[in-house]
Amino acid sequence: MQKVLVTGANGFVGNHVVKELVDHGIHVLGVGGPISPNDQTPPADDYYVLDLMDRKSLEKTINFKDISGVIHLAGLAAIGPSFDDPLHYITTNVGLEVNLFETALAQKAYPRFLIISSGGLYDSTAKLPLTETSAVSPSSPYAVSKLGQEQLALYYGLRGFECIIARPFNHIGPGQGLGFLAPDLTKQILEFTKRNDKPVLVGNLDAKRDYTDVRDVARAYRLLLEKGLPGEIYNVCSGTAHSGHEILADILTVVGTKPVIKQDSTKMRPSDNSIIYGSYQKLTKKTGWRPEILLEKTLDDVVDDWRARVK
């Protein structure tokens, strides 16, 4: 049986990736932070509470010679807060990856790595749909950190590792925390149905983004770790764009309410491209992957998830 290390296993995407791997007969070692009583424990075969910035603890805990692959998800993921603390975002996201590779090198182990980057790297003026050959121009400190992670993957490829890079676009689904459009809207709307006293605060809903269900994303990661070509970059996306207005309207339809909507200047980002969507043709050609879960189904599940949380 394959044994795969998933970093950030207790995160939003990590939980779904662990489940995807376990469901396909893969032995999973999960690494992440402490599990709080309200959080879902990832269904990993082995789970370690571990700070990947602590190199000594990493070396003592993980034997990379026993591992065939690594899906590296751990890191700081929210774009907005990265503008307030760029140094923290860049040093953390780059540092975590360095420690993983250097620990494996010290153990003379060479598992296959899938490095999770971001579709947010692309130049806002590039022709749509965005492909892996489109120009990059990071528009946030978060995106800068992801570009650094990509360059590290290429460097460690020269050191003997097989490194595949995934560039996921926006992904949503059950289990996603606050700080992102769908959960932020859903929580406010459900709270409005209980109290009827506060408007729903929104940022720029005009921007159109490429949203993929997190369960489809997890499937793409499994296939890329297995079949991706080392040194190559693969977009993980839906190939279509939806505005924040559409997301809001769909959630309101599912919940069945009509709250007052008010724009909040604190939710506006320093840079917000009007429309972004990508092409997943390269991923399909290599792995056969295509998105399967419709946005309406995703938002139904998001509302169900947050109904349980709001209770």
Residues of the chain with pLDDT > 90, as a percent, come to 84
Report residue 124 CA to chain centroid gap. Answer: 20
Judged by average pLDDT, the poorest of 2-16, 88-102, 165-179, 197-211 is 197-211
Give 19's pLDDT tier (boundaries 50, 70, 90): very high
Non-local CB neighbours of 77 within 8 Å, separated by 6+ positions: 11, 12, 142
Backbone angles phi, psi at 289, to 5 degrees: -70, 140
Over 70: is that where the pLDDT of 189 sits?
A: yes
Task: Taking residues 20-41, report their average pLDDT.
Answer: 89
Question: What gap in Å lies between CA 110 and CA 69, rounded to an integer?
Answer: 9
Q: Could you tell me if 97 and 88 are in contact, meaning their C-beta atoms sit under 8 angstroms apart? A: no
Q: Could you tell me if 186 and 254 are in contact, meaning their C-beta atoms sit under 8 angstroms apart? A: no
Burial of 56 (0-12, 13-18, 19+ CB in 10 A): exposed
Over 70: is that where the pLDDT of 33 sits?
A: yes
For 25-36, b where at least 16 C-beta lie within 10 A, e where not — what string? ebbbbbbbeeee
Give 179's pLDDT tier (boundaries 50, 70, 90): confident
Q: Do domains 3-171+211-236 and 177-209+240-276+293-310 have the same CATH topology?
A: no
Over 60: is that where the pLDDT of 296 sits?
A: yes
Over 70: is that where the pLDDT of 200 sits?
A: yes
- Work out the end-to-end distance of the chain between its first and last CA atoms, rounded to an integer number of angstroms: 40
DSSP annotation of 275: B
Question: What gap in Å lies between CA 152 and CA 183, rounded to an integer?
Answer: 32
Name which CATH class applies to 177-209+240-276+293-310: alpha beta
The pLDDT mean for the chain works out to 94
Residue ranges covered by each domain of the chain: 3-171+211-236, 177-209+240-276+293-310
Q: Could you tell me if 251 and 185 are in contact, meaning their C-beta atoms sit under 8 angstroms apart? A: yes
Q: Could you tell me if 46 and 30 are in contact, meaning their C-beta atoms sit under 8 angstroms apart? A: yes
pLDDT of residue 1: 58
What CATH architecture does domain 3-171+211-236 belong to? Answer: 3-Layer(aba) Sandwich (3.40)
Whole-prediction pTM: 0.95
Task: Taking residues 101-113, report their average pLDDT.
Answer: 98
Task: Taking residues 233-243, report their average pLDDT.
Answer: 98
Over 60: is that where the pLDDT of 272 sits?
A: no
Over 70: is that where the pLDDT of 273 sits?
A: no
Task: Taking residues 14-39, report their average pLDDT.
Answer: 92
Over 90: is that where the pLDDT of 253 sits?
A: yes
